[in-house]
């Protein structure tokens, strides 16, 4: 969510069209914290987000007492973070193992900003990338990761699924819990863009996914809003 005309103007030159959009949905961070961080108090934690976009997760976790920082490649997005008083480490995530980022974090969050297809066909490099994310976190820390669904249109759906399965196996071998998102409505409830038939949340150091009463109510409201009211509005247009 962009807060004023200066921020809207700043992000007009962002690399990604979704990030240029001032109406970009804020959905996700609150719901994620509610359902994945049940017993985890983030107050006082140092948390790193990879690719923060409009800094929704950084803002939400800062409101809960954490100190949020980010890694970002795109100058306008870096500038947005600095204006909002976040520490931003400039850098290209494809080079994560060699980026300069000082100190270890209590938690690392990445929603749709890293992409296993950057390393398509090279399992060793993909593993090195995932290990680099784990190494940014303290031994008792946590990671919450959803990869970007974007991949080359030249890949067949079988190739895409096979590579996503290789990615999932690497996460599992490193001790992550995998939660395969059952439906695109659930994905959008958590602010996740769903284009593959196989999309998963990988977590380490967090309890397995479970629905809170708050989420069930919000999800019902979300579904009503997405389907019912949208169609109703069309009828009355
Ligand atoms: C799809 S947006 C996701 C934003 C946010 N995580 C969210 O869920 O709304 C991707 C973000 O990652 C950044 N990004 C994309 N590729 C990157 C790269 N190779 N290195 C660093 N940042 C990158 C983009 O500029 C953008 O801020």
Ligand 1 lined by 27 (C-beta under 6 Å): no
Report the atom number in ligand 1 closest to the C-alpha of 74.
25
Residue 236 in this model has a pLDDT that exceeds 70? no
CA-nearest residue for atom 24, ligand 1, is 51
85 versus 188: which is more confidently predicted? 85
Task: Using alpha carbons, select from 201, 212, 2, 31 the residue that is nearest to residue 110.
Answer: 201
Q: How far is the CA of 29 from the centre of ligand 1 (A)?
A: 15
**This prediction's pTM:** 0.93
| 201 phi and psi angles, rounded to 5 deg | -100, 130
The mean pLDDT value for 20-37 works out to 92
pLDDT at 229 over 70: no
Give me the percent of the chain exceeding a pLDDT of 90. 74
Confidence label for 74 from pLDDT (cuts 50, 70 and 90): very high
229 CA to middle of ligand 1, Å?
A: 31
Per-residue pLDDT band at 38 (split at 50, 70, 90)? confident
Ligand 1 and 51: CB distance under 6 A? yes
Alpha carbon distances (Å) from 226 to 198, 229, 233: 22, 7, 11
Residue nearest to atom 8 of ligand 1 (CA): 111
Q: Which domains does the chain show, CATH number per domain?
A: 5-210 (3.40.50.150)
Alpha helices in 92-150 (DSSP H): 123-135
Distance 1 CA to ligand 1 centre (A): 15
Cβ-in-10-Å burial (0-12, 13-18, 19+) of 73 comes to: middle
């Amino acid at each position: 969510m962009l807060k004023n005309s200066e921020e809207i103007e700043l992000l007009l030159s962002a690399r990604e069209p979704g990030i240029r959009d001032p109406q970009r949905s804020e959905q996700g961070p609150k719901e994620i914290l509610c359902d994945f961080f049940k017993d985890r108090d983030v107050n006082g934690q140092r948390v790193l987000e990879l690719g923060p976009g409009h800094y929704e997760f950084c803002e939400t976790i800062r409101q809960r007492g954490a100190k949020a920082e980010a890694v970002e490649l795109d100058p306008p997005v870096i500038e947005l973070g600095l204006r909002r008083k976040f520490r931003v480490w400039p850098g290209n995530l494809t080079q994560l193992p060699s980026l300069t980022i000082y100190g270890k974090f209590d938690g690392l969050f990445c929603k749709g900003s890293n992409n296993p297809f950057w390393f398509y066909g090279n399992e060793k490099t993909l593993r090195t990338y995932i290990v680099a994310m784990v190494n940014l976190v303290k031994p008792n820390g946590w990671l919450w990761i959803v990869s970007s669904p974007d991949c080359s249109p030249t890949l067949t759906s079988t190739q895409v699924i096979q590579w996503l399965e290789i990615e999932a196996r690497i996460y599992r071998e490193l001790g992550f819990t995998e939660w395969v998102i059952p439906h695109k409505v659930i994905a959008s409830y958590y602010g996740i863009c769903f284009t593959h038939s196989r999309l998963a949340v990988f977590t380490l150091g967090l309890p397995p996914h479970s629905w809170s009463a708050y989420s069930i109510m919000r999800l019902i409201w979300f579904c009503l809003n997405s389907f019912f009211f949208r169609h109703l509005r069309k009828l009355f247009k």
